[in-house]
Chain A
């Protein structure tokens, strides 16, 4: 028997966990041992990637297709509810662990350069390792509860890392917001699990999906909608997307790893994993696709008018996640996962590139003791002189996300839009989703070009003194950028569609997972002619966005953030993000706070519990005691009267 690496799969999550334990101990034992922390933090990720790669190759070598489940121990055993701690290797989890460990390892390397000066260096790597551990549990878990452990764990790490610099209240608040908003989604996930267990009697993926067509037929729409509620929280979709832009308060590599490449894609993974359930419910599928398309368009409009470089990327992430949901909602599960992978490449690159820019800006302002905003694009401009490597790589990522062939984003985005269009033949509403996706693509090309022009081109607005201190990041940071740049450029090769002579490899690789769901969907084939037309339209749209940005934006008219005038009119609405935060604040947060304070606190707690309950009982006891004390007059005569009266009553009763 040839030694296959598949049974070593437990090492993939175990290594980052060991890294967390050791780095966590170093936080207390030797927080200054930065070399040891870097070696462990990065080392476990590289090792995990190597093991994952070996396992995936072993799995593919054995033919692939059928899921291999490794059960380690019994976790919950209560009567009929039997949940084992089990990991599952199948084509979908293979893709996910490679993305998580691969992109994760690159971002860990980048972090060494980016965070080296930070006093919380050991704590940072401990959290980052812990995050990777939970993310791997999420994608490897063989049942809903095991996945939920990862699901909650990544939420915890996200909270810890958003509020990493908790000294500033705004950062701690952003972490709290992410945590609370995610709770709403997690509630949906839990309800869905309860419904599944009630109807199927098991929570293992394979058992549930095998039994679903018969056992879940009645409640499948409810199950899917509750699951999707969980997805909207974790993956930042309307209506629960508001935490993600605020999450940019964390360190930039965290934004790249957690809030762009991996954690926020968990919802897409969940839908793809449960493709049988979603395919069974056309209503839920339509909701997923519709919310995805709407989010893609909506977030793209907000990104048009943001000045913080990371905020633009955050809304871009929300928008791209919308694309992924449009894909998986349409039934193009492979296309959604494909976009997930390519997005991980180019968005991680964009975030790390912006990290490199912020690093340079921060150093420049630090050198001159200036307090300007190092993330505001109005303070940048012309940075290509000082950051040539970053500029080139970010252009690659920008063209990829805009959908310029033959870069990776072109293939993945086009595949989603093509699938939506094809489904439109069966259900007309998908034509609308397709059109929204196309409009979002136009905006994407525009706002990304805007970001590039404002940051790297035109005159420099950093300041006379400061610009002398700008410099390219060290190789420790540019190295991962180069690797990601290559991936962002050629990542499309994973799944070149048949129409342009490709083998659609990822689609065929994922077919064992997605075929069960795909079999339940209406067939939607489009003719090669239509397909070519769609390709052409997508390219034209991307080109229009880029050219439009070059034409419409006047780089010389920009002034530094300090002296910039406030936006007016519609630009103001966009800059204020459609006032969604304000609306949520007025419609939900304030009423809840009011309810909590006036009714629950001052009414129920202070009034009913404290007033009627605690103090009321005490008062009643005191009143009774007072009544009793009235009997104790101290007058012996009175006592005697009572005594005699008592004797009379007793005698009367006795003599009857």
Chain B
């Protein structure tokens, strides 16, 4: 009965996450937008699990575990970059330019 609003909210959250990744330049903010997208997906899983069975809820735990690991590695990389470049602005980080 909450399915439609739940899916709508998760779509909005996902869109906000995508837009944030696309337009923001700060690595931390982009990182948070990625988390937002993951959680939008989690919401979808939970909402659909009401009708389609418990598998969706199990997946949510997997996603959270991956997100935790990602947070650890991603933040470590960002800190390492900051130590080198004194910035986390992605416009200044382009040494892979061809």
Binds A, one of B39-47, B52-60, B69-77, B88-96: B88-96
List chain B residues, Cβ under 8 A from A637.
Answer: 22-23, 25, 90-91
B94 CB contact (under 8 Å) in A630, A634, A641: A634
List chain A residues, Cβ under 8 A from B16.
Answer: none
Closest to B90 in A: A636
Q: Given A635-B90, A636-B93, decide whether A644 and B18 contact each other with a Cβ distance below 8 A.
A: yes
List chain B residues, Cβ under 8 A from A641.
Answer: 22
Q: How far is the CB of B69 from chain A (nearest CB, A)?
A: 21
- From B23, B94, B95, residue with most partner A Cβ within 10 Å: B94
Contact B22 A640 (CB under 8 A): yes
The 7 A-B residue pairs with the shortest CB-CB distance, nearest first, are A632-B98, A634-B94, A634-B97, A629-B98, A636-B90, A634-B96, A640-B21
Q: How far is the CA of A644 from the CA of B95 in the complex (A)?
A: 22
Contact B22 A644 (CB under 8 A): yes
Contact A633 B97 (CB under 8 A): yes
Q: How far is the CA of A629 from the CA of B97 in the complex (A)?
A: 8
Contact B25 A634 (CB under 8 A): no
Which residues of A (363-407) have their CB < 8 Å from a CB of B? none
Q: How far is the CB of A642 from chain B (nearest CB, A)?
A: 11
Q: Given A640-B21, A640-B22, decide whether A635 and B94 contact each other with a Cβ distance below 8 A.
A: yes
> Which B residues are closer than 8 A to A by beta carbons?
18, 21-23, 25, 30, 90-91, 93-98
Q: How far is the CA of A640 from the CA of B93 in the complex (A)?
A: 14
Q: Mark A621-656, 1 if CB is under 8 A from B, else 0.
A: 000000011111111110011001000000000000
B98 CB contact (under 8 Å) in A631, A640, A644: A631
SS class of chain A's interface: helix, strand, loop or mixed? helix
A628 CB contact (under 8 Å) in B96, B97, B98: B98
B91 CB contact (under 8 Å) in A630, A632, A635, A644: A635
Q: Mark A90-129, 1 if CB is under 8 A from B, else 0.
A: 0000000000000000000000000000000000000000
Q: How far is the CA of A641 from the CA of B24 in the complex (A)?
A: 12
- From B18, B25, B90, B93, residue with most partner A Cβ within 10 Å: B90
Q: How far is the CB of A602 from chain B (nearest CB, A)?
A: 37
Q: Given A637-B22, A640-B21, A644-B18, decide whether A630 and B90 contact each other with a Cβ distance below 8 A.
A: no
Contact B21 A633 (CB under 8 A): no
Query: Number of contacts between A and B (CB, 8 Å)?
Result: 34
Knowing that A637-B90, A644-B18 touch, tell me 17 more A-B residue pairs with CB under 8 angstroms: A629-B98, A631-B98, A632-B98, A633-B97, A634-B95, A634-B96, A635-B90, A635-B91, A635-B94, A635-B97, A636-B90, A636-B93, A637-B23, A637-B25, A637-B91, A641-B22, A644-B22
Contact B97 A632 (CB under 8 A): yes
Q: How far is the CA of A640 from the CA of B21 in the complex (A)?
A: 8
Q: How far is the CA of A632 from the CA of B98 in the complex (A)?
A: 5
Q: How far is the CA of A441 from the CA of B51 in the complex (A)?
A: 123
List chain B residues, Cβ under 8 A from A630.
Answer: 98
Contact B22 A633 (CB under 8 A): no
Contact B96 A632 (CB under 8 A): yes
Q: How far is the CA of A336 from the CA of B96 in the complex (A)?
A: 88
Q: Mark A255-291, 1 if CB is under 8 A from B, else 0.
A: 0000000000000000000000000000000000000
Closest to B27 in A: A636
List chain A residues, Cβ under 8 A from B23.
Answer: 637
List chain B residues, Cβ under 8 A from A629.
Answer: 98
Q: Mark A546-582, 1 if CB is under 8 A from B, else 0.
A: 0000000000000000000000000000000000000
Contact B98 A634 (CB under 8 A): yes
Closest to A633 in B: B97
List chain A residues, Cβ under 8 A from B96.
Answer: 632, 634
List chain A residues, Cβ under 8 A from B25.
Answer: 637
Q: How far is the CB of A622 from chain B (nearest CB, A)?
A: 13
- From A630, A637, A641, A644, residue with most partner B Cβ within 10 Å: A637
List chain B residues, Cβ under 8 A from A631.
Answer: 98
Q: How far is the CA of A640 from the CA of B96 in the complex (A)?
A: 15
List chain A residues, Cβ under 8 A from B98.
Answer: 628-634
Q: How far is the CA of A258 from the CA of B29 in the complex (A)?
A: 97
Q: Mark A197-222, 1 if CB is under 8 A from B, else 0.
A: 00000000000000000000000000
- From B18, B93, B98, residue with most partner A Cβ within 10 Å: B98
Instruction: Identify 15 residue pairs between A and B in the complex whose beta-carbon atoms are under 8 Å apart, listed by A's number.
Output: A632-B97, A633-B94, A633-B97, A634-B93, A634-B94, A634-B96, A635-B91, A635-B94, A637-B25, A637-B90, A637-B91, A641-B22, A644-B18, A644-B21, A644-B22
Q: How far is the CA of A629 from the CA of B96 in the complex (A)?
A: 10
Q: How far is the CA of A633 from the CA of B98 in the complex (A)?
A: 6
Q: How far is the CB of B27 from chain A (nearest CB, A)?
A: 8
Q: How far is the CA of A287 from the CA of B21 in the complex (A)?
A: 93
